Structure 1
């Protein structure tokens, strides 16, 4: 019998259809582990580290900036052809490395060690974001279930909530900041195992679909500047809001509750803002969200006590991931033949803002005794970002 006949009689089995919810949940756990925990757990742990390790606000800001520098470099590497091979292997490897660096913070003894460990954590968190996007969002879109991408981004808020509770557990058990890092790293390892089960690899990488949009050819310059200013504007409050609670002499439970509020507000945020963007357009949604965030940042330092901190936390959580996502979508739509280049430029601008913000805020806090001036500066820059996004 001829080979061709064999092929006809024994065709290769069709690949099993993957449940879109399985993919979305896998992406959610990936984002929870690497971003919600690996990247943002530093915020609720920071007040304990500053108190128990005598870190200054400037040093604390530099540790945060080191993580964001790692994220920037990691994202730029991922935009090249350097990370070859299985995308699933890179995703799982980066998740494992993120969990390990989170755990290792508990055994780090020096300021230089904090800088290095958080830098590596930032580097691999960027790879998680890139490969989770490739393996999850692209396939969901191909299945006609693009709306489930909001489930993936909800993982950031979910991770923030879970990391807050684990930090509170360490406080209750008097384990200190080291115990909080251990709890969080163990949770990130568990989430990595869930991702390994839920997210299968791809036999081939689908070719990128051309982007069709009435915005194509529109200048990206204003949006690029706006994205950088947004990176600066959101990250100061995202880094220091729990420290603001401690500075106001509230009990430790209030510190945890504030960061839990950020996470809860973040869970539905991308879905809600995407619905608004579908009606008003990405540019307008980006601008309105920046103004809302500016109000929250200003409220956190201008209104007394929890009257400012609670709305500051809610408005931060309900906007920052949505602005991040909408900005990238708008840049892709405005780009010409090379959306990858536009996205790399956006990532660089955003990363630069994130790197500068915590360092500037920390040293201004040391110089002037409060976070009032850096937070006001952040609010002004967010309003400017809202204006620039339409250019």
Structure 2
């Protein structure tokens, strides 16, 4: 075989490997985030009706998930998983599938909250450790599209779950069957990830602990802004479908709004990348928060059908990119400790998410509407944008 033919074969193998890696990453995010984290949103109104839950109780169950996510992020900041990232990510995905199944056979609020807590813990581990594996391979192969496809898995998971939920509505199968079907989808995704997720993070040398994190004013400001963003986005991400039902929308329209959210989220990293190259990560983070604030406000201020659809599209089109680009900006600010920065920023994000549904639930119970909760969330998003614009700039190259 000629030298050129050998090179061609090697390039073909490498191309297939990075494609398989990107598929594994997208499916891991679809299962852990699209299903494990966000499937609660479309099922919530039916659960509230079936179990007699009020907005405050629904908010507490949602917040339990984010407490778990916060704990997972904090635990991931330590070096215990160095060299075993794949095992931890796969265990997190298996736990996610089992916990989705458990949601379909439970009724007690405390038990549901505990299940969602454990699901949050699992999704944080998958988010951090699967991302570490997949993004390192994309970087080593000089394939920036791997990042887009990886985080696009969140939107793919949301879209698939919305379609599945629509079919369940048409079949009149109930919210319990929705959770059971989500579990089956999660197990199917897990099987593919087990087959194609690479074994290790790409490293320049052997696995070793990162240097302790150095807190700079810019990193501190970004971490605060990231936490405020967590509060701002999660109100709509949790209650969007409930807002539709509260406004008199049909069950199919509820699923349609969630499908629009997922479709907008899927390619969002790819179509925001030109803006990153043009104006930088910090400005795109701020612009994403501004666009999302408009959607959050529109979801309650603009009547059906336009308001919730606009809210869902703008939420989907920004939630993944603000999350991903915020973490990327953190890596730029402290390149010597990227995983610690990612984990602690995710922890701040988790604190915001914990507060969001609880505050929104009590505001909704007090006012009888989701309007005030959504407007508070929109103000939080505007504050997050302002903090990043004023204080956060990566060091000059």
TM superposition score normalised by structure 2: 0.89
Q: Name the residue aligned to 1:24.
A: 22
Change (3 A) 1:252 1:33: same
Q: Name the residue aligned to 1:6.
A: none
Change (3 A) 1:342 1:86: closer
**1:71-150 superposed matches below 5 A:** 71-83=69-81, 86-150=84-148
Output one character per residue of 1:266-314: Cα deviation in whole Å (capped at 9) or x when no partner. Answer: 0111112222111101111011111000000000011111121111110
Q: Name the residue aligned to 2:190.
A: 192
Change (3 A) 1:218 1:144: farther
User: Is the CA contact 2:83–2:200 (under 8 Å) kept in the aligned structure 1?
Assistant: no
Change (3 A) 1:283 1:205: closer
SS at match of 1:55: coil
SS at match of 2:252: helix
Q: CA deviation at 1:206?
A: 4.6
Higher gyration radius (CA): 1
Q: Is there any run of 5+ residues in structure 2 with no aligned partner, and where?
A: 1-9, 392-397
Q: Name the residue aligned to 1:293.
A: 292
Q: Name the residue aligned to 2:154.
A: 156
Q: Name the residue aligned to 2:232.
A: 233
Change (3 A) 1:232 1:24: same
Q: CA deviation at 1:173?
A: 2.1
In structure 2, distance between residues paired with 1:377 and 1:93:
37
Return 368-377 or 167-176, whichever deviates more: 167-176
Q: CA deviation at 1:84?
A: 5.7
Q: Name the residue aligned to 2:178.
A: 180
User: Is the CA contact 1:234–1:316 (under 8 Å) kept in the aligned structure 2?
Assistant: yes
Q: Name the residue aligned to 2:303.
A: 304
Q: Name the residue aligned to 1:34.
A: 32
RMSD of equivalent CA atoms: 2.0
SS at match of 2:218: coil
**1:1-391 superposed matches below 5 A:** 17=14, 19-83=17-81, 86-202=84-200, 205-207=203-205, 219-335=218-334, 337-390=336-389, 391=391
Q: CA deviation at 1:336?
A: 6.1
In structure 1, distance between residues paired with 2:135 and 2:235:
29
- How many residue pairs are counted as aligned between the two chains? 372
User: Is the CA contact 2:136–2:201 (under 8 Å) kept in the aligned structure 1?
Assistant: no
Q: CA deviation at 1:192?
A: 0.3
Q: CA deviation at 1:205?
A: 5.0
Q: Is there any run of 5+ residues in structure 1 with no aligned partner, and where?
A: 1-13
User: Is the CA contact 2:68–2:119 (under 8 Å) kept in the aligned structure 1?
Assistant: yes
TM superposition score normalised by structure 1: 0.91
Output one character per residue of 1:14-59: Cα deviation in whole Å (capped at 9) or x when no partner. Answer: 9x74621110011011111111011100000000000010011001
Return 58-67 or 16-25, whichever deviates more: 16-25
